[in-house]
Structure 1
Amino acid sequence: MFVRTALRTTLITILFLTCSGCTHLAQDRWTGKDKAQHFVGSAVLAAAGTAYAERQNMSSAESRSFGLLFAISLGAGKELWDSRQGGTGWSWKDFAWNVAGAATGYGLYQAAK
């Protein structure tokens, strides 16, 4: 039940973000120091979220979903913050690095177990 609700909420949030009028978009490149920070940060958050969920006695699927959604939702929140009037702009490239980092963090956490 938790997984379906979380997935539905994530899809609605992504739909909202893609249809909302962000103040502006970033004009950035695919590489750079901040991309590595997005990747590593999301990897750590996904691993930490998965570990937390496991310690809360969630099932394997629920802990995986929790860890991934935790990291990705924080990345989306950060990009939403960047899209405000005084920010650097929403960056789909940063968001892609967040998703890649979250998947990698979860994979490394599972490999280390």
Structure 2
Amino acid sequence: MRIPLLFALLLLTGCSHMANDRWQGQDKAQHFIASAMLSAAGNEVAQHQGYSRDRSAAFGFMFSVSLGASKELWDSRPAGSGWSWKDFAWNVAGATTGYAVWQMAHY
């Protein structure tokens, strides 16, 4: 129930402006790599805090995605470059990859 509610809130936020960007580019690779690293790091930190394997995976993934969403929210301010769903998609792809790589490294 929380995920659909969060998604609906993101769709209805009314960002001040949207970015007009492409799917490829150096910044997309930066979004992907940073999100993958943050996801893996969040997994590791949560595991060292004594969280279960599933809970640490969820923590790492959501940590990364929430930072990516915060960055896009920052970009959506009037002086920013605009909210980019493409950047956000690369953030989610990177977080998923970081989660998968961390899980494979710990089996």
Q: Tell me the TM-score normalized by structure 2.
A: 0.93
The residue identity in structure 2 corresponding to 1:89 is G
**Which residue is equivalent to 1:37?**
30
1:50-61 superposed matches below 5 A = 50-61=43-54
**Which residue is equivalent to 1:85?**
78
Deviation at 1:66, TM superposition (A): 0.2
The correspondence for 1:96, drawn from 79, 86, 89, is 89
Mark the runs of 5 or more structure 2 residues left unpaired by the alignment. Answer: none
**Which residue is equivalent to 1:106?**
99
Aligned length: 106
Identity across matched positions, percent: 57
Distance 1:107 1:79 in 2: 24
The residue identity in structure 2 corresponding to 1:37 is Q
Mark the runs of 5 or more structure 1 residues left unpaired by the alignment. Answer: 1-6
**Which residue is equivalent to 1:68?**
61
Deviation at 1:20, TM superposition (A): 1.1
- Tell me how large the CA RMSD over aligned residues is: 1.3
Deviation at 1:11, TM superposition (A): 4.6
Distance 1:42 1:83 in 2: 19
Q: Tell me the TM-score normalized by structure 1.
A: 0.88
